[in-house]
Amino acid sequence: MTAAVLMVVAALSAFAPESATVRPRPARRTIVVDAGHGGRDNGMHGPIGGGPPIYEKNITLAVAKKLAADLESRGMTVVMTRKTDTLVTLGDQGKIANEARGDLFISVHVNAANTGWKDPGGARGYETYFLAEAKTEDERRVARMENASARFDTRSSGDRDNPLTFLLNDMMQNEHLRESSDLAQTIQGQLRKIHPGPSRGVKQAGFIVLVTAFMPSVLVEIGFGTNPAEAAWISSADGQFQIANAIADGAMEYLAHFDRRSSASSSANVAAGRSGPGAPR
């Protein structure tokens, strides 16, 4: 062997034990699962044109419970914002998530067609949102619909409506923009494998529920409760299990991406005691 080759071999062997130790360990992550609406806030109801009536709050809770069980079976710690038919005031979901030091926040919702549309009962499909300024009228429509839950907040406005508070929260959530967008992509991609309806894509809008959770956060519209076929599917135990499983697959896929991306800097993060995507960076 030439001296140059020997030097390369020596250099490689010097790195080998190092690279073995920085391989990310499968960390136990905390995932916050939010069942949209609840209590006095029914969310949307449907379907249009007959069929068994549904209320969004019941479907989101059933799916959120299945999602929580699925994630726990994969070794995740799960915190649910609600486990019963109760109202969690909009914005408090983020507080729960922050106090739990969540790594990810996933809010489950059901979409509703605008009755002014040409064929509102015909609208189908699923979409996953991350927090950023809405770019289309349809994104603004969904944000208006979900943010309307704020009307159930009977507390005095105080900090909640303070523009500075909103701005600061928005800036803190902005830190996670790229991560949230990736999480939305992986969830939407997994739903595509099982959902009978069309993919409406990854979208962005200003949701109050997402602005207060300081971690990668998404809101999933699992289908249109206004469409009779989709309302039946998202109400069925089988459909709910499939949706929950796909969302869990998406979350795990995102965490694998995150671990790969951060493996280079993992030593520093581990030394700091936090290595999850929700950890301050």
**What whole-number distance in Å separates Cα of residue 48 and Cα of residue 116?**
12
Q: Which stretch binds Zn ion (CB under 5 A): 117-125, 142-150, 169-177, 241-249?
A: 142-150
**What whole-number distance in Å separates Cα of residue 34 and Cα of residue 60?**
8
Q: Which stretch binds Zn ion (CB under 5 A): 5-13, 43-51, 249-257, 262-270?
A: 43-51
Q: Any contact of residue 46 with Zn ion (CB under 5 A)?
A: no
The residues in 151-180 that bind Zn ion, with binding defined as CB under 5 A, are none
List the beta bridge partners of residue 109: 221
CB of 58 or CB of 169, closer to Zn ion: 58
Q: Any contact of residue 225 with Zn ion (CB under 5 A)?
A: no
Q: Which residue is nearest to Zn ion (CB)?
A: 109
- One-letter amino acid at 117 equals W
* Among 66, 109, 124, 200, contact with Zn ion (rule: CB under 5 A): 109
Closest CA to 215 of 245, 272, 157, 254: 254
* Among 32, 35, 41, 43, contact with Zn ion (rule: CB under 5 A): 43
**What whole-number distance in Å separates Cα of residue 30 and Cα of residue 48?**
38
CB of 29 or CB of 195, closer to Zn ion: 195
**CB neighbours of 112 closer than 8 A, spacing ≥ 6?**
44, 46, 56, 145, 224, 225, 226
- One-letter amino acid at 168 equals L
Least spacing, CB of residue 147 vs Zn ion, in Å: 10
CB of 30 or CB of 149, closer to Zn ion: 149
Least spacing, CB of residue 163 vs Zn ion, in Å: 25
Q: Any contact of residue 36 with Zn ion (CB under 5 A)?
A: yes
CB of 30 or CB of 93, closer to Zn ion: 93
**What whole-number distance in Å separates Cα of residue 256 and Cα of residue 151?**
38
CB of 31 or CB of 59, closer to Zn ion: 59
Least spacing, CB of residue 23 vs Zn ion, in Å: 40
Q: Which stretch binds Zn ion (CB under 5 A): 94-102, 146-154, 167-175, 246-254?
A: 146-154
Least spacing, CB of residue 46 vs Zn ion, in Å: 12
Least spacing, CB of residue 61 vs Zn ion, in Å: 12
Residues that bind Zn ion (rule: CB under 5 A) add up to a total of 4
CB of 2 or CB of 115, closer to Zn ion: 115
Q: Any contact of residue 223 with Zn ion (CB under 5 A)?
A: no
CB of 30 or CB of 226, closer to Zn ion: 226
Least spacing, CB of residue 108 vs Zn ion, in Å: 8
Q: Rule CB under 5 A: which residues touch Zn ion? A: 36, 43, 109, 146
